[in-house]
Amino acid sequence: MASVIVQCSRCRGTDHIAKDCRKLSFLRSSTRAEEREKRLAQQAQRAAGREEQEQERLEYDMRKQKRQEQAEQWAARQAERAMKEMGKQEDWESSSQSTASTAPTRATLTSEEEDQLQRMVAADNNVRRYEKKLREIAQLEVRSSLDTLQKAKIEQKHEYELELNAARGSALARARQELQRTTMV
């Protein structure tokens, strides 16, 4: 036998039936006109709330735009200050601060010193590393069958050449500084 579920037709409660309902009375508490007025008042209140929110959003957008304009003006002032500072710095760098010469007394190198510089550059670890990689790539280019890693290494040849030139330049600068230190003493 199926069980019967008792449910109130007014409040949809399952613990009683409509004649015993205590939540909603059988009679209306207000007329239809009063309910309509209440509903229209609620709608008007929601519309006023939406208008107020829209007004607040417009005010927020205006404040946001004003802040953005102020930020742009500040950035322009900062850029202008930086340009002035750069101009002052360039003026300071280009002006002579003393009458004494600060240039090195000897600008040219003898052939012995040039040879010594070349030996120091060739002995540099970074230069030797990149020269070795380029020698390996030259050997790989002669081969006909290569795996994917070897092909990738060949594709990096240009990068290794650039790195070798940079390493030679920095090694040459270090070697010149070292040579100047030894000749000054």
Residues 6+ apart with CB under 8 A from 150: 140, 143
Instruction: Give me the half-sphere count of Cα atoms (radius 13 Å) on the Cβ side of residue 130.
Output: 19
pLDDT of the chain, 185 residues: tens digit per residue: 567 888 988 888 888 888 888 888 777 788 889 999 999 999 999 999 999 999 999 999 999 999 999 999 999 999 999 888 888 777 666 665 655 555 555 557 778 888 888 888 888 898 999 999 999 999 988 888 889 988 888 899 999 999 999 999 998 888 888 888 887 76
Place of tokens 């209306």: 28
DSSP state of 9: T
Residue 61: the pLDDT is 96
Residues 6+ apart with CB under 8 A from 109: 117, 179
Residue 96: the pLDDT is 59
Residue 71: the pLDDT is 94
Dihedral-angle region of residue 120 (phi above 0 means left; psi in -120 to 50 means alpha; beta otherwise)? alpha
In angstroms, the CA 16 to CA 9 distance is: 10
In angstroms, the CA 111 to CA 127 distance is: 22
Residue 104: the pLDDT is 53
Using alpha carbons only, what angle is made at residue 120 by residues 116 and 121, rounded to the nearest 5 degrees?
A: 120
Instruction: Give me the half-sphere count of Cα atoms (radius 13 Å) on the Cβ side of residue 122.
Output: 6
Residues 6+ apart with CB under 8 A from 128: 122
